[in-house]
């Protein structure tokens, strides 16, 4: 529940000081209405522009803390990011354990009371015959005030802030039902009915909804925590002529640091000495290694595949590109609405209306009948029929059944928002590598440019690439082994990290690597032939021996067998498919054309993907995103609905709303159809939830509906909602 607070008018800040952007850690928010009230209060503070984030919990400055305190919530200054993440994780775990414990106790205490409600449907059955009323009071009271204390706290905060949320509605209905039943029990009014089971059941059912929401939101910070672990905890820094290991927090801009082969870059920097290949797939999503030499940039969290680099730090701490990705994920996740947002909005109007009707009913009935008893009975009937049991079940039951059906279809859906929004998608953004394609390069062809055979070209390349770490080299060696080729012995082996390898085969010098690498060693390259291959979107590795070009090995990331059918299916569903990839333009265009995607863009960075999604959203589109890599995490979080391919990185899966277990893009179309079916059930459930209120409240107010019948109607609305949701099990 973080707040991004900017001090001063945005238009008057040409150069914002480092402490102008501050964050507060907020405490006690339960719904979107809480966040809205805090934001409204903070924005009243002169010189403050605040935006409340409901997921990340973070502001500074005593005046801001005091402003939050006045709304009835807590706030504290956020500390170091790692410390703060650890604290939030501990608090989240403790809150979940407490909620789970309360739910178990509530179910145990409420179960006997629910038998009272069951008897209402038995012909001739009485409402209070099963258990003595004193025992009912003993069972319902701890549920109402001990287990339900969180609702009283939330209702008080809402009322103190001048609003009304779901907690107010829960507290109002259950408290009246419990209070009336207690008065009837204590005074021995045997002719009147009690409603202990109604108050306890409502608290338990809504608590179950809270538990479902907590489980849905539990993974929102896991993606961020995973990203933070990518950077190493220490760096090899040069201090006073010596290389020493220092904690990452002690690295400052300007420090010279060393990265050895196989290690991750600790911070952002510029290479000053050395050559290497870097795995930057976390940024680009591409397995292809990136050569690094003096003057090239390196980024925290990326991996040095070979060679030794001596670099100068240019970005540390929160100024690294990795930290920027973390912020993008956190901000986008925090912008998503909570599951119960509709109920919160409705309750803002529904609560005062119901209270007003109940008060008017009490006053009018007492004045007409001249007796307080029927006035109380009619008022209680109004409040009981208005209790939010069915409203609390309307969305969660459909979500539970829908997500269960999704799991059977190989689609794991994280939350209600995903199910609500997936069916509204108008645009679907897909990554290329690992999503439309398999995600690993393979040799597609060997082109001979001399009198040698294709097997000679492949064997020469594989001999020199043995032991290399980068994916292209491994793909060449794997293809040579598949074909059972005998690899020649290499003498005087040498490697230029990020460029190529060379050695002696028999009496000849041989080289394998980039075309620039071969040209630099005096090898003539047939550029026209090579350009034709590049235009097809393939990666090219040149092979030379004895100073002559033997041929080239072409490699490509193979398109998934199901991708063409999946794209066609999505288009038939009326969805515009857009491919955004970090790969080069030629490759992206070639793959897009192959699978039938009309709109595609290459060389897209993580923040560029986010910007492209937001432009579509600003134009009124509902945008989904399908990805599989760490680089996709910000775009996945920014989309209205995000889908992660199951074979992808854990970071992508954690950031996504939906995980496609089958590694099949067609499952995304399944998820969209399931979403549309679930949305229909949610709308139908809300109709059932409100129909009883709309029909029953006027009758209760006029005395034609007793509290017993009101309780039965409330139960029937719940049964209707649950039964209707169960029909989703047959969704295809």
Q: Hey, which residues does 277 pair with through a beta bridge?
A: 291, 306
- Cα distance between the two ends of the chain: 38
Which DSSP symbol is given to 407? Answer: H
Q: Are strands 641-645 and 658-660 parallel, antiparallel or unpaired?
A: parallel
Helices 585-595, 563-572: axis angle to 10 degrees equals: 70
Return the exposure string of 401-424: e unless at least 16 CB atoms fall within 10 Å of the residue's CB, then b: bbbebbeebbbbbbbbbbbbbbbe
Q: Is 526 a catalytic residue?
A: no
Find out whether 413 and 679 touch, Cβ atoms under 8 Å.
no
List Cβ<8 Å contacts ≥24 apart for 89-97.
Answer: 89/221, 89/225, 92/218, 92/221, 95/214, 96/214, 96/218
CA dist list (Å): 292 to 164, 238, 262: 58, 20, 14
* Bridge partners (DSSP) listed for residue 53: 2
CA quadruple 7, 8, 10, 13: dihedral sign: negative
619: left (phi over 0), alpha (psi -120 to 50) or beta: alpha
Pair 151, 164: CB distance under 8 Å = no
> How would DSSP label each residue in 331-347?
HHHHTSPPTTHHHHHHH
The Cβ of residue 504 has, within 10 Å, a number of other Cβ atoms equal to 15
- Helix/strand/coil for 469: coil
Is residue 9 packed enough to be buried (19+ CB in 10 Å), middle (13-18) or exposed (0-12)? Answer: exposed
Q: Give the number of other Cβ atoms within 10 Å of residue 152's Cβ.
A: 17
The beta-strand segments (E) located in 143-248 are 234-239, 242-247
Distance between CA atoms of residues 120 and 715, nearest Å: 10
- Specify burial of residue 701 (Cβ count, 10 A radius: 0-12, 13-18, 19+): buried
Query: Longest C-alpha distance within the chain, in Å?
Result: 117
Contact present, 449 and 550 (Cβ < 8 Å): yes
Q: SS3 for 309?
A: strand
Conformation bin of residue 725: beta by default, left when phi > 0, alpha when psi is -120 to 50: alpha
SS3 (DSSP) at 569: helix
Pairing of strands 623-627, 658-660: unpaired
**Out of 102, 167, 344, 431, which one is annotated catalytic?**
431
Contacts of 529 by beta carbon, 8 Å cutoff, 6+ apart: 447, 449, 552
By CB neighbour count within 10 A (0-12 exposed, 13-18 middle, 19+ buried), where does 305 fall? buried
SS3 (DSSP) at 15: coil
DSSP line for 8-68: S-GGG-SS--TTSEEEEEEE---SHHHHHHHHHHHHTSTTEEEEEETTT----SHHHHHHH
Alpha carbons 324 and 21: distance in angstroms, whole number: 15
- CB distance 2 to 38 below 8 Å: no
DSSP label of 488: P
In DSSP terms, which residues pair with 167 in a beta bridge? Answer: none
The SS3 call for residue 114 is: helix
387, 472, 427, 486: which is closest to 697 by C-alpha?
A: 387
Distance CA 508, CA 489 (A): 12
* Active site (catalytic) residues: 431
């Amino acid at each position: 529940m973080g707040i991004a607070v900017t001090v001063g008018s945005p238009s008057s800040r040409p150069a914002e000081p480092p402490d102008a952007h501050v964050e507060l850690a907020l405490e006690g928010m339960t719904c979107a209405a809480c966040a809205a009230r805090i934001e409204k209060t903070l924005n009243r503070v002169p010189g403050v522009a605040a935006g409340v984030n409901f997921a990340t919990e973070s502001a500074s400055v005593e005046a801001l803390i005091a402003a939050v305190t006045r709304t009835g919530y807590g706030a504290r200054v956020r500390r170091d990011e790692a410390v703060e993440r650890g604290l939030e994780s501990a608090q989240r775990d403790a809150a979940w354990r407490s909620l789970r414990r309360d739910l178990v106790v509530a179910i145990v205490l409420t179960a006997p009371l629910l038998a009272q409600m069951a008897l209402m449907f038995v012909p001739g059955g009485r409402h209070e015959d099963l258990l003595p009323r004193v025992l009912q009071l003993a069972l319902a009271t701890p549920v109402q005030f001990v287990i339900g204390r969180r609702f009283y706290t939330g209702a008080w905060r809402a009322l103190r802030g001048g609003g009304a949320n779901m907690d107010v509605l829960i507290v109002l209905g259950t408290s009246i039902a419990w209070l009336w039943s207690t008065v009837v029990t204590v005074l021995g009014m045997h002719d009147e009915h009690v409603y202990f089971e109604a108050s306890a059941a409502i608290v338990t059912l809504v608590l179950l909804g809270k538990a479902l929401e907590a489980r849905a939101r539990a993974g929102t910070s896991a993606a961020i925590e995973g990203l933070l672990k990518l950077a190493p905890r220490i760096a090899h820094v040069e201090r006073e002529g010596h290389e020493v290991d220092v904690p990452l927090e002690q690295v400052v801009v300007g420090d010279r640091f060393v990265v050895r082969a196989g290690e991750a870059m600790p911070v952002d920097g510029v290479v000053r000495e050395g050559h290497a290949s870097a795995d930057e797939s976390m940024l680009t999503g591409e397995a292809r290694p990136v050569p690094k030499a003096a003057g090239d940039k390196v980024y925290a969290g990326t991996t040095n595949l070979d060679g030794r680099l001596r670099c100068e730090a240019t970005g540390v701490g929160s100024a690294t590109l990795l930290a920027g990705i973390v912020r993008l994920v956190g901000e986008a996740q925090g912008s998503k609405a909570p599951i119960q947002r509709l109920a919160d909005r409705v309750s803002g109007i529904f609560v005062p209306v119901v209270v007003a009707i109940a008060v008017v009913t009490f006053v009018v009935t007492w004045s007409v009948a001249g007796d307080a008893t029927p006035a109380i009975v009619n008022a209680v009937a109004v409040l009981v029929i208005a209790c939010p049991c069915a409203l609390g079940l309307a969305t969660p039951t459909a979500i539970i059944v829908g997500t269960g059906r999704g799991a059977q279809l190989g689609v794991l859906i994280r939350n209600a928002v995903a199910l609500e929004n997936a069916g509204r998608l108008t645009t679907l953004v897909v990554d290329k590598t690992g999503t439309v394609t398999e995600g690993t390069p393979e040799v597609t062809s060997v082109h001979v440019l001399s009198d040698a055979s294709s097997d000679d070209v492949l064997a020469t390349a594989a001999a020199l690439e043995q032991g290399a770490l980068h994916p292209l080299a491994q793909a060449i060696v794997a293809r040579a082994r598949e074909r059972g080729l005998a690899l020649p012995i290499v003498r005087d082996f040498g490697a230029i990290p990020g460029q190529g390898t060379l050695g002696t085969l028999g009496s000849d010098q041989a080289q394998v690597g980039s075309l620039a690498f071969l040209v630099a060693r005096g090898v003539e390259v047939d550029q026209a032939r090579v350009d034709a291959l590049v235009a097809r979107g393939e990666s090219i590795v040149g092979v030379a021996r004895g100073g002559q070009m033997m041929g080239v090995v072409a490699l490509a990331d193979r398109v998934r067998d199901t991708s063409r059918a999946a794209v066609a299916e999505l288009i038939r569903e009326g969805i515009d498919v857009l491919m955004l990839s970090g790969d080069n333009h030629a490759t992206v265009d070639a793959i897009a054309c192959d699978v039938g995607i009309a709109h595609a863009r290459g060389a897209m960075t993580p923040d560029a993907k986010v910007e492209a999604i937001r432009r579509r959203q600003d134009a009124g589109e509902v945008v989904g995103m399908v990805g599989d890599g760490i680089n996709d995490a910000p775009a996945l979080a920014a989309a209205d609905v995000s889908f992660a391919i199951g074979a992808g990185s854990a970071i992508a899966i954690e950031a996504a709303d939906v995980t496609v277990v089958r590694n099949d893009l067609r499952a995304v179309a399944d998820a969209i159809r399931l979403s549309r079916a679930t949305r229909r059930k949610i709308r139908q459930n809300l109709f059932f939830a409100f129909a009883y209120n709309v029909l029953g409240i006027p009758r209760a107010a006029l005395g034609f509906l007793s509290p017993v019948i009101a309780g039965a109607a409330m139960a029937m609305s719940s049964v209707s909602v649950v039964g209707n949701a169960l029909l989703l099990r047959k969704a295809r």
